[in-house]
């Protein structure tokens, strides 16, 4: 590592702190129930949506494609899709279990440096996820990029990370980003001259290391241990812990 040590840590949410597949399974089940109430085969819609989400959870139109897959005419989508989308976005999972050791690792980071979470997605959905993990008390700053300008400013656009830096009162290039997606978490760090630790887990575990991160690990606790080794006395002095 060259240059000054990081002063703050920014963590991703989905597939970094907990398995996003757990949330998607829960939300897809809620859509299946809503589809049944709408007179459709709820089980078939649920199964089709699970398949679409498994093919790529970041793509839009998954509910549309699931309905088409179970034989719903395209002419009926405009009436059926909105309530099913509402069932998805308004779904509140009762519990999302963090990855093993994630809570303890966050506690250690919070005690060592200013800590924040930067995540993409529907703000209501992301807030429900944070609440369901039970990790909100350890994340004093949570910035959802979509609240700043919609999908256009999702990572790797630097707007969200710059906003996090402002909330923490730190220069953007003195942050250390921890996340699972090279094309988002590593790239957004590079966009502001910051370092990143990539975690190989979740949906994008096998994605190529492009752009290259400062370090790569297999778990969040391992990434946090690396971060703790980087953080200097200045960061500890800034931490509320």
What value does the mean pLDDT of the chain take? 94
Structure tokens, 224:
């946090």
pLDDT of residue 188: 98
Does residue 232 surpass a pLDDT of 80?
no
User: Residues of the chain with pLDDT > 70: what percent?
Assistant: 95
SS3 35: helix
pLDDT of residue 150: 95
**Tens digit of each residue's pLDDT (9 = 90 or more) over 169-227:** 999 999 999 999 999 999 999 999 999 999 999 999 999 999 999 999 999 999 999 99
d(CA 118, CA 179): 9
d(CA 165, CA 227): 17
d(CA 212, CA 235): 25
Does residue 35 surpass a pLDDT of 90?
yes
Residue 233: band (very low, low, confident or very high) from pLDDT cuts 50, 70, 90 = low
**Tens digit of each residue's pLDDT (9 = 90 or more) over 53-98:** 988 877 789 999 999 999 999 999 999 999 999 999 999 999 999 9
pLDDT of residue 166: 98
pLDDT of residue 240: 65
pLDDT of residue 4: 87
What single DSSP character describes residue 12?
A: -
**Tens digit of each residue's pLDDT (9 = 90 or more) over 122-171:** 999 999 999 999 999 999 999 999 999 999 999 999 999 999 999 999 99
Please state whether the predicted TM-score (pTM) of the whole model is above 0.85. Answer: yes
pLDDT of residue 200: 98
Phi, psi angle pair for 198, to nearest 5°:
-95, 135
């Amino acid at each position: 590592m060259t240059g000054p040590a990081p002063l703050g840590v920014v963590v991703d949410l989905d597939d970094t702190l907990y398995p996003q597949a757990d949330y998607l399974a829960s939300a897809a089940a809620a859509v299946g129930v809503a589809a049944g109430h709408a007179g459709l085969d709820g089980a078939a819609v649920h199964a089709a949506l699970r398949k679409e989400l498994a093919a790529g959870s970041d793509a839009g139109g998954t509910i549309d494609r699931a309905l088409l897959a179970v034989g719903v005419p395209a002419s009926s989508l405009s009436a059926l899709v909105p309530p099913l989308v509402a069932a998805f976005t308004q779904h509140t999972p009762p519990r999302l279990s963090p990855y093993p050791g994630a809570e303890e690792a966050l506690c250690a980071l919070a005690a060592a440096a200013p800590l924040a979470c930067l995540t993409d997605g529907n703000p209501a959905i992301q807030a429900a996820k944070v609440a369901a993990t039970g990790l909100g008390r350890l994340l004093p700053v949570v910035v959802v990029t979509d609240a700043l300008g919609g999908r256009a400013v999702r990572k790797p656009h630097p707007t969200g990370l710059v906003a996090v830096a402002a909330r923490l009162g730190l220069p953007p290039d003195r942050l250390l980003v921890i996340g699972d997606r090279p094309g988002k978490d590593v790239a957004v760090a590079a966009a502001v001259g910051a370092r990143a630790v990539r975690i190989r887990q979740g949906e994008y575990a096998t994605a190529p290391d492009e752009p290259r991160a400062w370090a790569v690990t297999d778990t969040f606790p391992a990434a946090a241990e690396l971060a703790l080794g980087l953080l200097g006395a200045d960061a500890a002095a800034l931490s509320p812990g």
